Amino acid sequence: MQRNNTRKLGGEEERLAASYLKKNGCRIVEMNYRVRYGEIDIIYTDGGTICFGEVKYRKSEAHGLACQAVNFKKQRKISRVSDYFRAANSLSEDHLYRFDVIAISGKNIQWIKNAFNYIR
C-alpha cells in the first residue's frame, strides 16, 4: 500500500510542478514520458528551449533537500531517456535542450534551470 500512496503523491506533486511551469510561461509537451530505460517527469518548452524536468518532493528538509535527490545515476538515466524522446520526435542536435529540476519542499517550489548537463 505504501507504494501506491507514494505514486499518488508523486503524481500530485508533478501536477503541481506542471501548473507552476505553466504560470511561468512554459508549455507542457508531455508528462511521465516512459521508455524501457526510464522516465522523464515533465517535458516542456521554455521559450525556444526543450526542457526535460525531474520533479523531486520532500515533506521537510529533515532527509536532505529535494534538489539533492537527483544524483549522477538519475541524471544519466534522464539523459538517456531524452535521447529516445529526441529520436522519436525527429529533433536535431542543433535544437536547444536543457535539464531542469523542480524541487518541492513542503509548499515551496524551486525551479532549477540547467540543473545538470547531458551525460553520455
User: Residue 110 belongs to a domain with what CATH number?
Assistant: 3.40.1350.10
C-alpha cell at 115: 540543473
Count of structural domains, the chain: 1
Per-residue pLDDT of the chain (120 residues; tens, 9 = 90+): 444 444 444 588 999 999 999 999 999 999 999 999 999 999 999 999 999 999 998 765 655 666 677 899 999 999 999 999 999 999 988 899 999 999 998 778 999 999 999 998
The candidate with the shortest Cα–Cα distance to 70, out of 59, 83, 54, is 54
pTM of the complete model: 0.88
The domain in which residue 12 lies consists of 2-116
Q: Are 45 and 51 in contact (CB under 8 A)?
A: yes
Give the E-state strand segments of the chain in sequence order. Answer: 27-35, 38-46, 49-58, 96-105, 108-116
